[in-house]
């Protein structure tokens, strides 16, 4: 999540004289001006002079600039002239700009790949963050011959733009700029398990055309639920020939690997000048300053870390409480907590061994493109060990462009050919990538182990690997009951791959070892605001559907409703549908929920899928309680909340609700679907789901 980038507001200065046109002037017969008149006139002239002087001073001040996301080693906002992407394109002889809207880094990565490839097609490219650009300048793109703007835009949340693209999308929606002469293409990043699939990219593609821009190539849609890498390279391989046709370019130049960053090794680096894991500001973990956000997380002590599963469970689920007392951090029930993880030291050491590098060597990687706003791929200078531990993703499946560049470092021709094949867009290459990388779940460490002739320079590997992202967890507490702690509920991820290896979740494996101690175990966190909220009136009834860890946000909701009831307020029905495998193994917060049910706060429906021959899930319970559901959503104007698996559970619940509305509300399927859609618009139907 990116820090709020609201524009400075214009402020009326107190004390500025304002002349009221309706004021009448009294006229005296005796003399044209009395002594009092002269005194008053002089005072008015002095005040007017003071006001004019003050206004001129204000007019000479520089215009308010946009706020900017902090780059790793630069902390001052750019001056307006440096904020002009048109000026950068012109001064550096470029004609291609690739904008990205990215929440997890994939959109930015795709943008970088397109800009880098442009050189093959005689189009020198530049990557740009729309949050750091005057996007109104798109009207001036036509002043650059054969220019092209590409937009790699992710859809996030409930069909929303990413934080860094929000201002740009608002400008498109609310403005009517003349974009004649702007040549453009759009690639969207989405997930088909969510209702608002690629909504942002679809809108931007259509809106740019509405405003007069020329679409150079068809909209591309990537599905992260399937294979977004395959979607991207398939689109990209048709995109470039279309660009060549449009601009009359003869064809691709030589496919050469071009390094984006140059390496500097620091022999006598002063420790106080070296990053050790900070996200942006050097020493921010030693000198903590609020406000805390994605660029400035708070180091929270772990106050509680206890197991929620029973002793017979083969899995593990943690209840963790972070101490935020004195931090000025605020949260609400339904918000998300972001946690910055740390990579496993064994995996880090393996990379160092294969690359035969001293991991404590301090380095700086500097962008060879001096016009780029991204001077370094991660905070520099730092050691290789810090980069691999805190800044780089070493556990996800590498994308095809990484394999393509690594192939050059294989001493065995067969190994080189294999990596090149997987990086290609041929049917054989795609099939091999799908099987060897995706299905067999290999990360960069596994690839280095399984291709022994591959010995890449570690600095190039650091350039190619994506940034390690923070992980988000639904907060499972209410600040009304726990104002100085934030609770999360997290299943420890651990599974065996087809190659026989054990893969472990980066964040949950790391958190599992964090327990209350003296000195305390510290975890970098920040709160991300959510739209997942209880109704403002406690009297409004609610239904919550949350199997497994989908229960997490509802624990906070129930705590709030319980407090309201104890305060004597009228509280509507609070109904929970919870499911797990077995009541003695993975029934989360069993005692708490049963106590809430006993004291009248909660009406509880539970499904234990493995306790009988015929599996029973929360969806079965919902189908058996249609009358109760209709009473809440159809008769009492209540709210329904869903948290958990987007692919199956959330979709099934939606279909059941449509069926309930059809049967109990006496509506057609179309009318029932529209009824649920209206609930969604009214914020009465809310989802917090993941795939």
| Residue 321 pLDDT exceeds 90 | yes
CATH topology of domain 257-282+344-468: NADPH-cytochrome p450 Reductase; Chain A, domain 3 (1.20.990)
80-247: CATH number: 3.40.50.360
- Rg of the chain (C-alpha set): 29
What are the pLDDT digits (tens) for 502-524?
A: 999 999 999 999 999 999 999 99
State yes or no: 331 annotated in a binding site: no
Helices (H) and strands (E) in the chain, counts: 20, 23
CA 478 to chain centre: 23
State yes or no: 154 annotated in a binding site: yes
State yes or no: 637 annotated in a binding site: no
**Count of C-beta atoms within a 10 Å radius of residue 529:** 14
CB-based contacts of 659, cutoff 8 Å, min separation 6? 623, 626, 672
Rounded mean pLDDT, 165-182: 95
What are the pLDDT digits (tens) for 361-419?
A: 999 999 998 878 789 999 999 999 999 999 999 999 999 999 999 999 999 999 999 99
Does domain 542-690 sit in CATH 3.20.20.140?
no
State yes or no: 262 annotated in a binding site: no
CATH topology of domain 288-341+470-530: Elongation Factor Tu (Ef-tu); domain 3 (2.40.30)
What are the pLDDT digits (tens) for 588-629?
A: 999 999 999 999 999 999 999 999 888 999 999 999 999 999
User: Do 80-247 and 542-690 show the same overall fold?
Assistant: yes
Q: What is the pTM of this model?
A: 0.84
Give me the residue spans of the domains in the chain. 34-63, 80-247, 257-282+344-468, 288-341+470-530, 542-690
State yes or no: 609 annotated in a binding site: yes
3-class SS of residue 125 = strand
CA–CA dist 509, 339 (Å, integer): 13
Lowest mean pLDDT among 256-265, 562-571, 655-664: 256-265
State yes or no: 485 annotated in a binding site: no
- Known catalytic residues? 474, 643, 688, 690
State yes or no: 368 annotated in a binding site: no
CA–CA dist 338, 294 (Å, integer): 8
Reference 664, options 633, 639, 620, 618; nearest CA is 633
The whole-number pLDDT of residue 195 equals 81
| Phi-psi domain of 251 (left: phi exceeds 0; alpha: psi -120 through 50; beta: other) | left
The whole-number pLDDT of residue 259 equals 86
| Residue 280 pLDDT exceeds 90 | yes
- Mean pLDDT rounded to a whole number for the chain: 88
State yes or no: 104 annotated in a binding site: yes
């Amino acid at each position: 999540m990116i820090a709020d980038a609201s524009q400075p507001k214009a402020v009326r200065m107190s004390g500025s004289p304002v002349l009221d046109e309706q004021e009448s002037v009294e006229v005296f017969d005796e003399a044209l001006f009395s002594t009092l008149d002269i005194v008053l006139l002089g005072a008015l002239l002095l005040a007017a002079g003071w006001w004019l002087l003050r206004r001129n001073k204000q007019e000479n001040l520089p215009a308010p600039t946009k706020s900017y996301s902090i780059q790793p080693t630069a902390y001052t906002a750019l001056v307006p002239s440096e904020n002009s992407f048109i000026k950068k394109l012109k001064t550096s002889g470029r004609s291609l700009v690739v904008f990205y809207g990215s929440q997890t880094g994939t959109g930015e990565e795709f943008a970088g790949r397109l800009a880098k490839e442009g050189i093959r097609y005689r189009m020198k490219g530049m990557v740009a963050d729309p949050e750091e650009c005057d996007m109104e300048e798109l009207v001036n793109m036509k002043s650059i011959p054969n220019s092209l703007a590409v937009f790699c835009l992710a859809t996030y949340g409930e069909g929303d733009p990413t934080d860094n693209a929000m201002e740009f999308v608002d400008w498109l929606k609310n403005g009517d700029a003349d974009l004649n002469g702007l040549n453009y293409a759009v690639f969207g990043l989405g997930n088909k398990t969510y209702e608002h699939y690629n909504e942002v990219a679809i809108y931007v593609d259509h809106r740019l055309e509405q405003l007069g821009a020329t679409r150079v190539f068809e909209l591309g849609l990537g599905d992260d639920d399937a294979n977004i890498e395959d979607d991207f390279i398939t689109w990209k391989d048709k995109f470039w020939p279309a660009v060549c046709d449009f601009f009359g370019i003869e064809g691709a130049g030589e496919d050469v690997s071009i390094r984006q960053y140059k390496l500097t090794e620091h022999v006598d680096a002063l420790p106080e000048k070296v990053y050790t894991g900070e996200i942006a500001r050097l020493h921010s973990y030693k000198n903590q300053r609020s406000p805390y956000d994605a660029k400035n997380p708070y180091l929270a002590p772990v106050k509680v870390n206890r197991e929620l599963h029973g002793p017979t469970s083969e899995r593990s689920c943690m209840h963790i409480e972070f101490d935020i007392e004195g931090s000025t951090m605020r949260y609400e029930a339904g918000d998300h907590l972001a946690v910055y993880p740390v990579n496993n030291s064994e995996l880090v050491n393996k990379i160092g061994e294969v690359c035969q590098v001293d991991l404590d060597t301090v380095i700086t990687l500097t962008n060879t493109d001096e016009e780029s706003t991204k001077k370094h791929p991660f905070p520099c200078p730092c050691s290789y060990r810090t980069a691999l531990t805190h800044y780089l993703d070493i556990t996800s499946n590498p994308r095809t462009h990484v394999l393509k560049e690594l192939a050059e470092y294989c001493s065995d021709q067969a190994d080189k050919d294999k990596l090149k094949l997987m990086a290609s867009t041929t049917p054989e290459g795609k099939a091999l990538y799908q099987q060897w990388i995706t299905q067999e779940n290999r990360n960069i460490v596994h690839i280095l182990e399984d291709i022994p002739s591959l010995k890449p320079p570690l600095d190039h590997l650091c350039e190619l690997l994506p940034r390690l992202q923070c992980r988000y967890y639904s907060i499972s507490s209410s600040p009304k009951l726990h104002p100085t702690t934030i609770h999360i509920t997290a299943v420890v991820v651990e599974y065996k791959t087809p190659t026989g290896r054990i893969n472990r979740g980066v964040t949950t494996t790391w958190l599992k070892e964090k327990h209350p101690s003296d000195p305390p175990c510290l975890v970098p966190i920040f709160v991300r605001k959510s739209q997942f909220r209880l109704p403002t009136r406690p009297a409004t009834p609610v239904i919550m559907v949350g199997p497994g860890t989908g229960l997490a946000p509802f624990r906070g909701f129930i705590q709030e409703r319980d407090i309201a009831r104890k305060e004597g307020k009228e509280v509507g029905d609070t109904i929970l549908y919870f499911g797990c495998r077995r009541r003695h193994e993975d029934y989360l917060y069993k005692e708490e929920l049963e106590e809430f049910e006993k004291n009248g706060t909660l009406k509880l429906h539970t499904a234990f899928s493995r306790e009988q021959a015929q599996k029973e899930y929360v969806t079965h319970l919902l189908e058996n309680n249609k009358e109760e559901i209709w009473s809440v959503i159809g008769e009492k104007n209540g709210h329904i909340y869903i948290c958990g698996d987007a692919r199956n559970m959330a979709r099934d619940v939606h279909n059941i609700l449509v069926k309930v509305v059809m049967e109990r509300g006496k509506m057609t399927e179309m009318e029932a679907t529209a009824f649920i859609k209206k609930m969604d618009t009214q914020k009465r139907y809310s989802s917090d789901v993941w795939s």
